[in-house]
Amino acid sequence: MSLDLIQEARRQAEICNACRYCEGYCSVFPALHRERLFSDGDITQLANLCHNCRGCYYACQYTAPHEFDLNLPKALAEVRRDSWERLAWPAPLARKFHTNGTMIAAAFVLGFSVLFLAIRAIGSTSGEGFYAALPHNAMVAIFAPAFLFPLASIVVGLRRYWRSVRGGPVRRTHLAGALGMAARMRDLAAGHGDGCNFEVEDRFSHARRYAHQLIMYGFVLCFAATGAGTVMHYVFDLQAPYGLISLPKLLGVPGGLMLAVGTGWMVRLKLLSDRHVGDLRAWGGDIGFVLLLCFVSISGLALYALGSTRFMSLMLALHLGSVLTFFLLMPYTKMAHGFYRLAALVRDAQRKQEGDRPN
């Protein structure tokens, strides 16, 4: 199946290379126009550079009913999803999530929440705060492996990706440029700076770019809040829950709000978008991941609001269940796109530098 997807994307890339109308749209087209022949690794690289903004599709004169029948965003989206499935470790889990993402995420959250409630029922309640509902040692025993496993899985996938695109040694300038592109979401602004056509067809909009930024920076703030809480617990012996005027809350509450707004906005944009310009097989996984991240943020905010009430144990179980699900499924969800896209941007910076060298 992957060979058929790559072959179709190669056919379309060769036509686009001859046309060059979309040269300034995003990072994909300058990278595409640097090549004359496209290896499988080249197509995989182009696919992971693509943000599926769809501007090229709505500007193209060779879409259906033209005999060329171009739909480059869809072709690259299919190759991109296939590359995550092929390169992920273990690969079968990725394929299952992309086709049944919402149901899998919901089942995991529910199952883990029941597990945490069971631990609460049979375990010790001698702790204070959250640890009265779930002992600290139990949290560490569960979440440490759940955090380390997806990191190891992503590292394996990225190494496989780097070999497939023939990546070389990474220099500081390559990484700095890639991080700058990712931080500003420049490709979702398109080359003209007016935004993309994700949900409004031939009208440009920055909505998807802003929703992405809310999700990305909201997640970064929440992760920083967790890190701050860890330092406060182990270094300063300050145990959760923390007050509003504390570093974990000053970082986590704005981060949770940004995540909730960004994911809700993203779901709305996806429902408004034209599905046939994306990968239909990945629809369930995409929506499942966004809804999971939305539930993580909302349950975290609810836990803070209800942390001193009788609903604390239930909200803690739901929140921890969703966080554990997020970590375990991270290598097989759209979250992997962030890592692969950053790697693709680093490789693109390398290719640009290689092209600037004199022969």
Q: Tell me if 260 is assigned to some domain.
A: yes
Per the structure, the complete domain to which residue 233 belongs is given by 88-354
Same domain for 336 and 291:
yes
Q: Cis link prior to 241 (omega < 30° from 0)?
A: yes
φ/ψ (deg, to 5) at 21 = -65, -35
Structure confidence by residue, pLDDT tens digits, 42-70: 999 999 999 888 888 888 999 999 999 99
Please state, in angstroms and rounded to a whole number, the distance separating the CA atoms of residues 351 and 217. 28
Structure confidence by residue, pLDDT tens digits, 308-317: 778 888 888 8
Last residue of a domain, one of 67, 83, 99: 83
Same domain for 297 and 148:
yes
Same domain for 102 and 73:
no
pLDDT category at 129 given cuts 50, 70, 90 is low
pTM score of the predicted model: 0.86
Last residue of a domain, one of 38, 57, 83: 83
Same domain for 100 and 48:
no
Same domain for 249 and 135:
yes
Same domain for 65 and 183:
no
Same domain for 132 and 59:
no
Please state, in angstroms and rounded to a whole number, the distance separating the CA atoms of residues 22 and 28. 10
Last residue of a domain, one of 30, 49, 83: 83
User: What are the residue ranges of helices labelled H in the chain?
Assistant: 2-19, 28-33, 40-49, 55-59, 72-87, 91-122, 136-164, 172-184, 207-234, 247-272, 283-305, 312-329, 335-356
Structure confidence by residue, pLDDT tens digits, 219-242: 999 999 988 888 888 888 887 777
Residue 1 confidence (pLDDT) above 60: no
Q: Tell me if 346 is assigned to some domain.
A: yes
Structure confidence by residue, pLDDT tens digits, 2-25: 779 999 999 999 999 999 888 778
Q: Tell me if 359 is assigned to some domain.
A: no
Same domain for 45 and 110:
no
Same domain for 332 and 297:
yes
Same domain for 188 and 70:
no
Same domain for 171 and 30:
no
How high is the mean pLDDT of the chain?
85
Same domain for 128 and 26:
no
